[in-house]
Structure 1
């Protein structure tokens, strides 16, 4: 696929890392599983994510202009290939629904408890429609704009740490290596988002820099998650942190300014500006796949239908905290296959396929 829309390496890094940093349940899940040694599991998960990302890049190096649709059709044939594209489209669709309803739940509980879920959903969908319609280049530019806001929000989380207790982090390996190894399956959830590489690579202006971009994006994600994990572990006791659904957001509660009440509302506004980039990217991936599936260029009809469905759904259904947790678990279980198994297995398949084709020509 030839495209006039291009993204820079910097935008490529921010888009991947931005999605990865939207996995809000991770700090609590790691603490429950590995205690205060969860940061070690994150480091191991980081290396697994790097390997997976480099496999995805290696696939594209064989055909740099191919999209995910092109790969499936050329390597699996028309019908099997389209089946694979449909499965990926469903994955992106579910991600859109999950992240929007998660945002709706947080906004309804924390910021606008008296506002109808219908209007909150519309507030999220209007900018999403405008940005996604403009294409991946605008999403990349948006990522650059919100980067300073994301950095500010991370710095602000350091304020409550003056009352933290570093002793909570000690001793290291207090329960041995077994909990850490068992927690790797949770740690790799933090790097879900690397699969968006399969969508972004055809748009990257300098494709030779893709491997460097994968390493930088995952490294930045690792640093931020370790920072958040340590911040929560130091401020909350090991028992207390497990009582919160999103301990990172609870970390904002103690921040107070004389001239400002309920600072957490301002913080969540900053958070959602970064978080919405994930919604933009998954919406774009859904739109791109389904447009190519039906051979329609920049087809907005499926996105229009999806948004109408979401608006109507918000009238009759607002998920509870338990339902949100279940939705996240479904997403993570699917992510193990889509994010980690698929790139490695597909690279092996493409390599064997290419080798056999070359032998036939000889």
Structure 2
């Protein structure tokens, strides 16, 4: 019998928020500025609203399978083959998520810290702790996210220290070009808000399932506040004409911090931020192994996890990606993430409601 290890509401909340913030945090201000100028921060509020609406649909959907994942729910209402197809789709989706996290992290490490190290070597080093944590399930991942959040509380104060160089007038006037640029930028917020879909597989592990929606709203709100804070800081530090020229303005702004005992503050920051990066690929690799095991009808998730870790290292050894490739993968995830985490819950919720109405609430 498969053991379900409980996940607390705090761990659930922080796991989703850390997943969302992990890789999108560094480039979001640049992307918003390129599409909507200094009014781009308004799109974050719309992204929060859409993520909250999708969270409502997700929780209502999973209430139909309180003791099972989305795969059990699909098997119940659509059949075993539909659940197999769903497992393959989720496997591919979270494998791309993990690959995206490894790619961005390794490229940034190579650019800022270890320029002479091969990318596949960096990925191999990152995969060792990933396997150790992911093999123990969502409870271990939740504890990891919980600890990491508390030891990261100093980061906001580091960015607040750069406000002595802030120019508030860069933000004015608000809506200088009207609502159209802001509304057209909302589509960019799908990628930074990805992570709410974890509830598809986390729901049966929750201790207090009745508080799942509250936890998701809090998680989305935390993510929104982090995004708003760092975006406004970057918008007030860099001029509207130059912010688009920085690939990682969140890192570049740290150069303004001067400490007598550290020459380059951004270097230890990047090294520390690797922990935040890992919050996307650790749960993603766990979900890849879960769906792989479901697809093959076996419960040896640890073996599947080891094989997928090996496959990722081999993929980076064969093909070494660039920042252009990372941008392309981000664009793909922006579209597929909208389908998987925003549109799919609504469609499945409608389908389940219709089927239950037709069957009179009886199970097949």
Query: For this structure pair, what is the TM-score category when the shorter chain's length is used for normalisation?
Result: over 0.9
Measure the CA separation in 2 of the matches of 1:93 and 1:57.
24
* Residue 173 (structure 1) aligned to one of 165, 171, 175: 175
Q: For the Cα contact (< 8 Å) 2:19–2:195, is it kept in 1?
A: yes
Q: For the Cα contact (< 8 Å) 1:49–1:340, is it kept in 2?
A: yes
Measure the CA separation in 1 of the matches of 2:275 and 2:180.
38
**1:5 aligned to 2:5?**
yes
TM-superposed CA distance for 1:318, in Å, is 2.2
Q: Which moved more, 1:23-32 or 1:267-276?
A: 23-32
Q: For the Cα contact (< 8 Å) 1:26–1:189, is it kept in 2?
A: no
Q: Which moved more, 1:132-141 or 1:266-275?
A: 266-275
Measure the CA separation in 2 of the matches of 1:315 and 1:185.
33
Q: Which contiguous aligned blocks of 4+ residues in structure 1 show a shift greater than 6 angstroms? A: none
Equivalent positions of 1:85-234 (< 5 A) are 85-234=87-236
- What does the per-residue CA deviation read over 1:122-179, in whole Å, with 9 as the maximum and x for residues that have no partner? 2100000000111111111111111123221222122222111111001111111111
Partner residue of 2:69? 67
TM-superposed CA distance for 1:303, in Å, is 2.3
Give the SS at the match of 1:190.
coil
Q: Provide the alpha-carbon RMSD of the alignment.
A: 1.7
Equivalent positions of 1:253-332 (< 5 A) are 253-332=255-334
Q: For the Cα contact (< 8 Å) 2:135–2:305, is it kept in 1?
A: no
Q: Residues 356 and 3 of structure 1: is their aligned pair in 2 closer, same or farther, counting only changes over 3 Å?
A: farther
Aligned length: 361
Measure the CA separation in 1 of the matches of 2:359 and 2:60.
18
TM-score (norm 2): 0.95
TM-score (norm 1): 0.95
Q: For the Cα contact (< 8 Å) 1:232–1:251, is it kept in 2?
A: yes
Q: Which moved more, 1:157-166 or 1:294-303?
A: 294-303
Q: Which moved more, 1:77-86 or 1:351-360?
A: 351-360
TM-superposed CA distance for 1:356, in Å, is 0.9
Q: Residues 338 and 149 of structure 1: is their aligned pair in 2 closer, same or farther, counting only changes over 3 Å?
A: same
Measure the CA separation in 1 of the matches of 2:96 and 2:362.
41
Measure the CA separation in 1 of the matches of 2:168 and 2:53.
33
- Structure 2 unaligned runs (5+)? none
Partner residue of 2:36? 34
**1:351 aligned to 2:350?**
no
- Structure 1 unaligned runs (5+)? none
